[in-house]
Chain A
Amino acid sequence: MNAFAYRTGPHPLKTAAVWLAAAGAAMLFCGCVKPPPDHTPDGRVIVDYWEKWTGFEGDAMQAVVDDFNASQDHILVRKLTVSQIDRKMMLATAGGNPPDVAGLWSHNIPVYAEKGALTPLDRYIREAGIKPEDYIPVYWRLCSYEGFVWALPSTPATVALHWNKKMFREAGLDPERPPRSIAELDRMAERLTIVRTVRNGKPVRVRYPDLTEEEKKSKKFDIIQLGYTPTEPGWWNPMWGYWFGSSLWDGKDRITADSPENIAAFKWFQSYPLKYGLENMRTFGASFGNFASPQNPFLAGKVAMVLQGVWMYNFIDKYAPGLEWGAAPFPSVDPEKYPLVTLAECDVLVIPRGARHVKEAFEFIRYVNSRGPMEKLNLGQRKFSPLSETSPDFIKHHPNPYIEVFIQLAKSPLARTVPRIPIYNELSDEMYVAGDRIFSLIASPEQALHTVQERVQRKFDRERQRWKMIRKHRIEEWKKL
């Protein structure tokens, strides 16, 4: 017999069950729908700001946020450090609960803009009197897409050749004169390379040019130190063509991965394993430590020259403060025709679509983009200002002795960017795979790049086709925002 049968009225257990069910439903409902409070008790609007930086880079931005919060009394910016910020912002935006400001990378802009994840800033920029001329042109370009401005820069970067002066001196090279062409880079790299080989049964250490033709051909040696390798740090596989006068995209609807210039660039890329031996390079490469460590091959004096960004100074300062180094434009194949080639990228501040406080968010972005805070942020992160005008004190106080090289490169007409297309992630992944196949001597540059061309062009065609169908509709929509 059921023990509950004699009771009248709602049984306590039944009440409990109903409450439990209600709680479950409420939890679900609240978790999905109810937004957190957006005002402080004293009435300031809370602007949620997601940013990727940690450590001293995060501190530099926090200082600017604190200044902003102290400078006025109606907005409170709340900075939250978020890893994998592009993915998390994407999911938060898709879920209808994005932050008010997010710190993305400029290469996210084309895809996020097309997919309707960002708020166009044109109206606010006009009202604030911000003009393209206020910025170094390449950074303004990086913030625009399809005729709209989607972001403003926070910290910019360019890349340059970093060389180890001590290793230059030891090799009998002028430590103050970095290579000025790809051919010279290759020649100097040979001179800077030390190998161990066996002669008459005895192990000997010699510089690469001092090997006999026979020894060079047989590749029976171990690499002790390397002048240069395009695989260190291994981050630029898609972009090598830039130093050979090529691009990856024609600016309209063609991918140009297999252009003659790109093929030439990857022939140069492949010349390294062919010259020094794939197995030798792999064994030597396996001895490299993590990038952010004293075992970083450039910091440890194992590789004499690398292509690195303006951030490299921070790692030198932290892990190898005694390193004698210099920075100069990375040489191109033809320095007359292509002087001052670099890759420019920047961190940007965007307002995700669906943000609750667009006006206040923009006020913060505008504050960061005024000269004082911008220089404070970039001095803190030891980068340079993306604004076209820099105060003389900024350079004087900048700890990186070569900061002007990076600024000069950013202002160069040959400051290039990654292709501004929504399928850049695919293109980049395919280029890395191609680079790997070429370096591993699995495929010729022609074959590998042809594969990239076919795969990515097909995707791009489909993407363009869809974009053409919705473009007019989207532009109308953006104009209204």
Chain B
Amino acid sequence: MTRREWRNLGLGLAFISPWIIGFLAFTAYPVGASIYYSFCDYDVFSKPVWVGLLNYHDMFTDAVFWKSLMNTIYYAAFSLPLGLVISLLVAVMLNQSIKARSVFRTIYFLPSLIPVVASAMIWLWILNGKYGLLNHFLALIHVKGPDWLADEHWTKPSLILMALWGIGGSMVIYLAALQDVPRDLYESADIDGATPWHKFVHITVPLISPVIYFNLIMGIIGSLQVFAQPFIMFGGGGPNRSALFYAVYLYQNAFDYYEMGYACAMAWVLFVIILFLTWAATKSTRRHIYYAGE
């Protein structure tokens, strides 16, 4: 590099230095430190003491760790595919030329704008076993609704239901992609006599596949890290810890039990799980994703 290039580089770095400093101090350092702490007995107050793999060993023998992991996987296994399919379905419906389309789009998008605490409080009442709206409507069709929040079998389905209510975000992304699909492809398919289903499967889905893939990856990450709603609604984990999710248990260890080392180790295990699932999702869908630019 010439002197001027060096100077320009320095100038550029100086300009973005607030970000670089922020990144180093508030992201890179904590991430690095958390690796170190995960091998330590660390309670925040005293100096961390190196304990090797003890935290990781404890995790594998901790029944509550496994329960929280299984709860999280259960939640992700249902909320993720259901969310992907339903938000796509809603997006396709809202992409038709119907009356008051923008009104419907707004209505479906609204839930994702509501602050998570507010929506959790509302759902606490909707799901109330005695006075809840949901059980009220179920009673109208002569179904006795369960006690959603107090019965350990229904806490996770409740949270999945709530997650499906908030699909507005991914729906909007689908909508944008749907509007990008060239009309002429549908027209030529019409001339060839394709049914709406064929058009959907052979034109729409391949052309929006990068967006489906994006929503899938974001969904994997989001559903495995779910925290706010279960934490607000079930605090310590709900009946028989049926709503104790991974991130909530991690938080309990860090801030209730002062086991920061254990919590850091849990965070890294979650990172590895997400990394693996993202890798697996990328690998298994690679052949089915169509990029117009390639």
- Residue among A93, A116, A279, A286 with the highest chain B CB neighbour number at 10 A: A286
B257 touches A14 (CB 8 A): no
Closest B residue, CB atoms, query A24: B18
B257 x A115 contact (CB < 8 A): no
Name which of B42-50, B211-219, B222-230 contacts chain A: B42-50
CB-based A-B contact count at 8 angstroms? 93
Please provide the chain A residues from 5 to 61 with a CB less than 8 Å away from any CB of chain B in the complex. Answer: 5, 13-14, 17-18, 20-21, 23-25, 27-28
- A residues in contact (CB < 8 Å) with B: 2, 5, 13-14, 17-18, 20-21, 23-25, 27-28, 87, 90-91, 93-94, 111-112, 115-117, 279, 282-287, 423, 425-426, 429, 432-433, 436-437, 440, 442, 455, 466
Given contacts A18-B14, A20-B15, contact A433 B236 (CB under 8 A): yes
Given the complex of chains A and B, what is the CA–CA distance between A17 and B147 in angstroms? 61
Residue in contact with A20 in the complex, picked from B14, B25, B129, B257, CB distance below 8 Å: B14
Determine the chain B residues whose CB is within 8 A of the CB of A21 once the complex forms: 14, 17-18, 21
Per-residue contact bits, chain B 62-75, to A (CB 8 Å; 1 contact, 0 not): 01100000000000
The interface stretch among B91-99, B201-209, B237-245 is B237-245
Residues of B within 8 A of A (CB): 4, 8, 11, 14-15, 17-18, 21-22, 25, 41, 43-46, 63-64, 128-132, 147, 149-152, 236-237, 239-241, 252, 255-258
The residue in chain B whose Cβ has the minimal distance to the Cβ of A283 is B130
**Interchain CB contact under 8 A, B45 and A90:** yes
A18 to chain B: which residues have CB within 8 Å?
14
Interchain residue pairs with CB less than 8 A apart (11) = A5-B4, A20-B14, A21-B14, A27-B18, A115-B258, A117-B45, A284-B130, A429-B236, A433-B241, A437-B240, A442-B152
A18–B14 Cα distance when bound, in Å, is 6
Query: Quick check: A115 and B46 within 8 Å, CB to CB?
Result: yes
Q: How far is the CB of B261 from chain A (nearest CB, A)?
A: 12
Q: Do B256 and A24 touch (CB < 8 A)?
A: no
Per the bound structure, the CA–CA distance linking A115 and B14 in Å amounts to 42
Min C-beta distance of B102 to chain A, whole Å: 38
Tell me the nearest residue of chain A to B41, going by C-beta: A466
Could you tell me the distance between the alpha carbons of A112 and B15 in the complex, rounded to whole angstroms? 44
Contact B18 A286 (CB under 8 A): no
Distance, CA A199 to CA B147, complexed state (A):
26
- The reply to whether B46 and A116 contact each other, CB–CB distance below 8 Å, is yes
The answer to whether B150 touches A282 (Cβ under 8 A) is yes
Residue from A14, A23, A282 in contact with B151 in the complex, judged by beta carbons closer than 8 Å: A282
B residues less than 8 Å from A90 (CB atoms):
44-45, 258
| Least Cβ–Cβ distance between B100 and chain A, in angstroms | 38
B158 CB to nearest chain A CB (Å): 13
Q: Is the CB of B241 within 8 A of A24?
A: no
Which of these, A87, A115, A432, contacts B255 with CB under 8 Å?
A: A87
Q: Which residues of A contact B240 (CB under 8 A)?
A: 433, 436-437, 440, 442
Please, which residues of chain B bring their CB within 8 A of the CB of A25?
A: 17, 21
A229, B20: Cα distance in complex, Å: 58
Q: Which residues of A contact B131 (CB under 8 A)?
A: 286-287
In the complex, chain B residues whose CB is within 8 Å of the CB of A93: 45
| Chain B residues with CB under 8 A of A285 | 129, 150
A286 to B150, Cβ gap below 8 A? yes
